[in-house]
Structure 1
Amino acid sequence: MSEGKADTVPGLGFKDKEKALDSLKILEGRDPDYQKLAVKGLIGRAKRVITLTKDKEKLQNINDAMKVFEDFVKDFEKNNKSKENRAYLPLASIEALLPLKVKGEYKNLRTVSSGDNEPTWDIVRNSALRKLMKTIDDEDPELWNDDLPSKEHMELILWGYSPEASKIKKNQSKFEEKLGKDSEKLGKADEEEEEDKMDDEDDDDEKDDVKEKSDKNSSLKRKSESDGSGSSDSDSEESPKKKSK
């Protein structure tokens, strides 16, 4: 991994032992390879500053800070912490598999907070991946289903990581082809379902119109019969008068 700026994450420094310990605290939970890169960068910068510093107290403070960082690097390499690094999948590989997505969000910015007074997204990601990998280690689920990532595998992929990254990258075009066709089928199915729903609504409207007309006709019929009945009563009342005449 090429050396980059150690201060990509703000707040890192080497002025004394306390600042060095604070820096390690800031780096805690981030990508292991980035932690090592940042600390080695701080050591390199500290060595350059030492050559320009004559104040004995400042020199001692910087040397104390370097000791903290050097101990960190030794412990890192002794425990092979690089194996805990969850390398990011290429974005194109993730996008090729997005039709399998239910919910999820992938952010890998080291300086973007996940909320007010909350850790940055790289820390959130690593924390989530540790939990997911523990579940996978404990339950040993299948990572593939019909040549596509399983649900458990997709949960990792949506955080930009896969234990089988090389297979993901190698089969990206196959995923796009297969899932592109599946997406078209799903789209057509959704359209047909929507059309059926609209047809059902039209049928319901038609039934309502027929019922409304039927109710109206029944009402008119009853009114007509009522008027006829009244006319008959009137005739029967007038009959005796006509007869008496």
Structure 2
Amino acid sequence: MAVTGLTALLAAAVGLGSAAGAKAVAAVAAGQLSIGWCNDRLDLQRDRAAGRRDKPLAVRAVRPGTVGTAACVALLLCIPLSLACGVLAGSLHLGCVAAGWSYNVWLKRTVLSWLPYAVAFGLLPAFLTLTLPGRPWPPLWLIVAAALLGTSAHCANVLPDIEEDIAGGVLGLPHRAGRRGTVALAAILALASCVVLTLGLPGPATPLRVGLIGVTLALCLLAVAGAHAPVRGRLPFIAVLAMAGVDTALLVLAGNAHTPGQVWP
């Protein structure tokens, strides 16, 4: 829901019309559903062993075959929906979806667990701009900033269940870094994304941009300090999510800086 919502905001920001924007959002929604359902189906035994009450499969509220079929159907729907945005844009998005599936099947257990997030988030702005007339590419700084945000999101997403994942044999990059290291990594990456976005936006630095960097820096320090508190809590996780929210706002501002039909400076 978060990624699909971000796509809708960015589609409006870069100037996609209602019809083109709807196709792009539908393609992303189908891809996200396929990735999410695939992930839950593959993690079924580990989620049951961990006692995950928030997973319908783990509590036997839905059959594994149903979820597996739904994942495949969503993936099949994603193909024509993506290509309806143009061959180049659609192929790029299908590559992002393939990165998500590669995470589920293999990379989540390796030191390269961050790579699918970096690729998929980084190329999301390109998917949308390549849907525009003239097929313009976004600037490199926007791709880098989105990739940093995606990698930070990966670290933040791991935090609530990091101990259970490690016990279940999942050893991605955040798990190898540990809780404190993952909090620091997520916060620093989110801060770096904010800085790249602020410096990359055309025009002079406005008080709003400078203020957002200040807010992100304060949240970064809060997250890192909270990770070293003697009592485990959700403060670092909430601080990192707040940083991601600030970065998302900047990402939309970056999209608004684009003039439809022209290439970014």
Shorter-chain TM-score above 0.5: no
Higher helix proportion = 2
Q: Mark the structure with the bigger radius of gyration.
A: 1
Answer 1 or 2: higher relative contact order, Cα 8 Å, separation at least 6: 2
